[in-house]
Chain A
Amino acid sequence: MALNKRRFDALIIGAGGAGLNAAIQLANTDARVAVVSKVFPTRSHTVAAQGGVNAALANVLPDNWHWHMFDTVKGSDYLGDQDAIEFMCREAIPTVYELEHNGVPFSRLDDGKIYQRAFGGQSQDFGGAQAARTCAAADRTGHAILHALYQQNVRARTHFFDEYFAIDLIRDDEGAILGALVMEIETGEPLLIEAKATVLATGGCGQVYRTTSNAHINTGDGMAMALRAGIPLMDMEFFQFHPTGIAGRGMLITEGVRGEGGYLVNRDGERFMERYAPNAKDLASRDVVSRAIVTEVKEGRGCGPQADHVLLKVDHLGEEIVSKRLPGIRESGRIFAGVDAAHEPLPVFPTAHYVMGGIPTDPYGRVIVPQGTGEEVVPGLYAAGECACVSVHGANRLGGNSLLDILVFGRAAGLDVIENLQEHKNHRPMNESSVEAAMARLTRWDQKGEGISIRELRDEFRKTMEDHAGVFRTEEIMGEGVEKLKALRDRLPEVRLHDHSKVFNTARVEALELENLFDTGIAIAYSALMRKESRGAHSRPDYPDRDDTNWMKHSLYFREDDRMDYKPVRTKPLTVETFPPKARVY
């Protein structure tokens, strides 16, 4: 049977904030743009972002983008690229205003301006007093933004392929990307989408861990597609564990809770963050707070019958503030912990939350790979959002910078595609062997027989990731982990699908996702094993210090032979002075 084909100027894979903000730029021109998403767009995980988006609007306290830049560089533990960070912090301001103009229902201050709250790692005047930089729509900011962006795309008549799963990128012999093979989930039929430019905006991969704040859909699809196309993933060892997931469940309790005045206590009722971060206390950077919580529990000061979590106190703020500013977490606390946050403390423990690493790009969203002694752009390929690594988050992302990243770089990618389309009027010739390879990835699951079940291998994989690539990492734990993961990977070809039906076969989707989890998870574990220092979220008791002499560099993991390469951090900003590395204290 002939393969169905469609042609567009641009193909965007993923319909979260990055994908939709890229799409809206293109849809506002006369370009033909297709957005492929494995779920209906408003189901994308941007919807779950709670606290807000950072921009130095100075609506509440004095602020400017240069302070925001300093905080982000420091938060990144000096691994972030300072040109990209300057770009993002400058762009933050018009980006938030544009969102507001697009209809986002931000909370408001008495003077009618956008409400801004305090978040971790934020300061005035390069490390001075706490700043208030996070623009919020109550504690449902991601939801408010995603819906507004979807609405604007509906207005602009963007062409959506809802519930289509991307199988693999198609590329020619020169490495240029020609589009992607996708599968319509409802019919199980493959479809080839040709495009002059393809934007990967597929989000994160938190499902590699057993306990995560991430949705079922966050399986690293775009990152794995890039790996299989020969593109490396950058800085994958840096995975953020959010300090406050609901204990034992993983659902997120926003940092905005602490921004509004909530604080953590151990079994003795002690505000233990005062010991770990005397100045910023509960609003220290996320890596710092997560390690503090794990240390408290390890040293026997945890709460509850198993002494396996700490408590987040909010009740002292009073019912009015809690219901006005934090209605969503009050609801989550009730449902998942059986606790009314307005009256009792919430049981919390760190949860796998965000991957700082991803597909290497420049600030225009163009995917870049090593070439000779330098780098080159992959023709026709862009990436933006959590699946990309610009890198603005370096070794640790600040709260409120994730929504900012997806919006700024989604937009930048969309604008660069528009420019690119001016120069490339025609589609490149299709490459049949690449299409066949992508088809093989799909038809591989038609194999019948007993084999191993998807569930069995997935469960074992996610537990191994949790045990061996978690908050604290030693050579021994990680070395054993990498061996276990490789052994599990060797069993992947024995996995069999037992349901071979076509229509809305979610088991087939999960099989394809399983391969993506393996590719991204192993990239994390392998990159972590290789980095012999502690920096940001990557914390090694056997190498407790940051080592700027040997390790102030980005890692690149290639799927072929699990090969590592490294490249320098871009320390020179666009217009201002470099922030040189300093000891990072909060």
Chain B
Amino acid sequence: MKFLVSRFNPESDTSPYMQEFEVEVVRGMMLRDALLEIKRHDESFAFRHSCGEGVCGSDGVNVNGTNKLACITPISELTEPVEVRPFPGRPIIRDLVVDMTQFYQQYRAVKPWLVRDDPMPEQEILQSPEERDKLDGLYECILCGCCSTACPSFWWNPEKFHGPQALLTAWRFLADSRDQATDERLDALEGPYKLFRCHTIMNCVDVCPKGLNPTKAIGHIKTLMLKNAV
């Protein structure tokens, strides 16, 4: 099977280019296996990867125009030639490795930790199964970056718009019955950019490898903001 892979080594190249590789495909092969095959033939080929089962979030890449996690993308679902590029809109460090600093900054900006003002009980803070169910579809995020780097609003304003990942995380804490910083969290999202640059294009929903829905989370935040304002 023919693969076209984006290559860029800042020490020797002035701009990225596509390089062709032929990979022998076996049944059950994932895209990551194919990238590893390429690396077996050319050790200078660089990409991030680790767990191989879609939980560490290291190996997000752009495949035939769509952001995916390489380790859980079956080759059989891809059309030939398979074009593999780094995430769009991020500075390229080398080959498929991009600089995700801004993505992590946006994550940190939403204060992604549980805030409690009450004294902690001796045992667990109680939470009903129904309250806990509200975190399903939110806490499973693996910070792979597929969503935010597929979002046009994030491409244009990565320094101002939080992007779908960070907003999903913001809602994960707003939705947690144990969290006591609702007002501060909502106040921090005020203004025309951080939250409101989402134009519900929904690329984030299409690409999320964990099947999460940041657009819906953003909608929930907007509703809550409205409710708190009246």
Interface residues of A (CB under 8 A from B): 39-40, 42-45, 47-48, 57, 96-97, 100-103, 105-114, 137, 140, 143-144, 147-148, 151-152, 154-155, 186, 215-217, 249, 251-252, 328, 331-332, 335-336, 338, 453-455, 497-499, 501-507, 510
Minimum C-beta distance from A490 to chain B (A): 22
* A–B pairs, 29, beta carbons within 8 Å: A39-B50, A39-B56, A42-B56, A42-B143, A43-B57, A48-B56, A102-B113, A103-B178, A105-B135, A107-B129, A108-B129, A109-B129, A112-B126, A112-B127, A137-B139, A143-B140, A147-B139, A154-B108, A215-B50, A251-B52, A331-B54, A332-B54, A335-B54, A455-B40, A501-B9, A501-B12, A503-B10, A503-B11, A506-B46
Residues of B within 8 A of A507 (CB): 43-44
Minimal Cβ-Cβ distance residue in B for A50: B55
Partner of B56, one of A43, A186, A502: A43
Cβ–Cβ contact A454 & B43, under 8 A: yes
Residues of A within 8 A of B124 (CB): 96-97, 100-101, 106, 112-114
A414-B28 Cα distance, complex, nearest whole Å: 44
Partner of A45, one of B56, B122, B125: B56
Known: A113-B126, A501-B44, A502-B11. A48 touches B53 (CB 8 A): yes
Cβ–Cβ contact A335 & B51, under 8 A: no
Cβ–Cβ contact B94 & A43, under 8 A: no
Given contacts A147-B139, A148-B113, 19 further A-B contacts (CB under 8 A): A39-B58, A42-B142, A47-B56, A48-B55, A48-B56, A103-B178, A105-B176, A107-B132, A109-B129, A112-B124, A151-B114, A216-B50, A217-B50, A251-B53, A336-B53, A498-B43, A499-B44, A501-B44, A503-B94
| Chain A proximity mask over B99-120: 1 for CB below 8 Å, otherwise 0 | 0100010001001111010001
Cβ–Cβ contact B93 & A103, under 8 A: no
Cβ–Cβ contact A215 & B46, under 8 A: no
| Chain A proximity mask over B69-106: 1 for CB below 8 Å, otherwise 0 | 00010100000000000000000011101001000100
Minimum C-beta distance from A463 to chain B (A): 15
A349-B170 Cα distance, complex, nearest whole Å: 40
Minimal Cβ-Cβ distance residue in B for A107: B132
A220-B77 Cα distance, complex, nearest whole Å: 35
Minimal Cβ-Cβ distance residue in A for B177: A112
Minimum C-beta distance from B28 to chain A (A): 7
Cβ–Cβ contact B114 & A103, under 8 A: yes
A430-B93 Cα distance, complex, nearest whole Å: 34
Cβ–Cβ contact A151 & B112, under 8 A: yes
Partner of A144, one of B51, B93, B111, B139: B139
A499-B39 Cα distance, complex, nearest whole Å: 12
Partner of A336, one of B28, B108, B123, B131: B28
Residues of A within 8 A of B131 (CB): 108
Residues of A within 8 A of B228 (CB): none
Minimum C-beta distance from B68 to chain A (A): 12
Minimal Cβ-Cβ distance residue in A for B122: A97
Minimal Cβ-Cβ distance residue in A for B211: A331
Residues of A within 8 A of B93 (CB): 186, 503-504
Minimum C-beta distance from A269 to chain B (A): 25
A52-B69 Cα distance, complex, nearest whole Å: 25
| Chain A proximity mask over B182-205: 1 for CB below 8 Å, otherwise 0 | 000000000000000000000000
A108-B72 Cα distance, complex, nearest whole Å: 29
Cβ–Cβ contact B49 & A216, under 8 A: yes
Cβ–Cβ contact A108 & B57, under 8 A: no
A497-B44 Cα distance, complex, nearest whole Å: 10
Residues of A within 8 A of B173 (CB): 103
| Chain A proximity mask over B15-45: 1 for CB below 8 Å, otherwise 0 | 0000000000000100000000001100110
Minimum C-beta distance from A335 to chain B (A): 5
Minimum C-beta distance from B52 to chain A (A): 7
Minimum C-beta distance from B206 to chain A (A): 18
Partner of A455, one of B43, B53, B116, B122: B43
Minimum C-beta distance from B209 to chain A (A): 10
With an 8 A cutoff between CB atoms, is B128 at the interface? Answer: yes
User: Of B54, B95, B123, B124, which is in contact with the most chain A CB atoms at under 10 Å from its CB?
Assistant: B124
Cβ–Cβ contact B43 & A105, under 8 A: no
A186-B50 Cα distance, complex, nearest whole Å: 17
A504-B9 Cα distance, complex, nearest whole Å: 9
How many inter-chain residue pairs (CB < 8 Å) link A and B? 149
Cβ–Cβ contact A43 & B50, under 8 A: yes
Minimal Cβ-Cβ distance residue in B for A93: B123
User: Of B53, B93, B126, which is in contact with the most chain A CB atoms at under 10 Å from its CB?
Assistant: B53
Q: Give the B interface residue count (CB, 8 A).
A: 55
Minimal Cβ-Cβ distance residue in B for A94: B122
Minimum C-beta distance from A504 to chain B (A): 4
Partner of B113, one of A154, A455, A502: A154
Cβ–Cβ contact B11 & A103, under 8 A: no
Minimal Cβ-Cβ distance residue in B for A507: B43
Minimal Cβ-Cβ distance residue in B for A142: B55
Minimum C-beta distance from B122 to chain A (A): 7
Residues of A within 8 A of B113 (CB): 102-103, 148, 151-152, 154-155
Minimum C-beta distance from B217 to chain A (A): 15
Partner of B9, one of A328, A455, A503: A503
Cβ–Cβ contact B112 & A154, under 8 A: yes
Cβ–Cβ contact B50 & A140, under 8 A: no
A335-B54 Cα distance, complex, nearest whole Å: 10
Minimal Cβ-Cβ distance residue in B for A334: B72
Cβ–Cβ contact A155 & B111, under 8 A: yes
A40-B51 Cα distance, complex, nearest whole Å: 13
A252-B55 Cα distance, complex, nearest whole Å: 12
Known: A101-B116, A140-B140, A151-B113. A215 touches B9 (CB 8 A): no
Minimum C-beta distance from B185 to chain A (A): 14
Minimum C-beta distance from B34 to chain A (A): 15
Minimum C-beta distance from A97 to chain B (A): 6
Minimum C-beta distance from B35 to chain A (A): 11
Residues of A within 8 A of B94 (CB): 503-504
Minimum C-beta distance from B104 to chain A (A): 8
Residues of B within 8 A of A251 (CB): 52-53
Residues of B within 8 A of A498 (CB): 43-44
Minimum C-beta distance from A4 to chain B (A): 19
Minimal Cβ-Cβ distance residue in B for A137: B139
Residues of B within 8 A of A252 (CB): 53
Cβ–Cβ contact B132 & A108, under 8 A: yes
A336-B56 Cα distance, complex, nearest whole Å: 16
Minimum C-beta distance from B41 to chain A (A): 9
A148-B113 Cα distance, complex, nearest whole Å: 7
Cβ–Cβ contact A505 & B46, under 8 A: yes
Minimum C-beta distance from A165 to chain B (A): 13
A144-B11 Cα distance, complex, nearest whole Å: 39
Minimal Cβ-Cβ distance residue in B for A109: B129
Minimal Cβ-Cβ distance residue in A for B120: A101
Minimum C-beta distance from B131 to chain A (A): 8
Minimal Cβ-Cβ distance residue in A for B123: A97
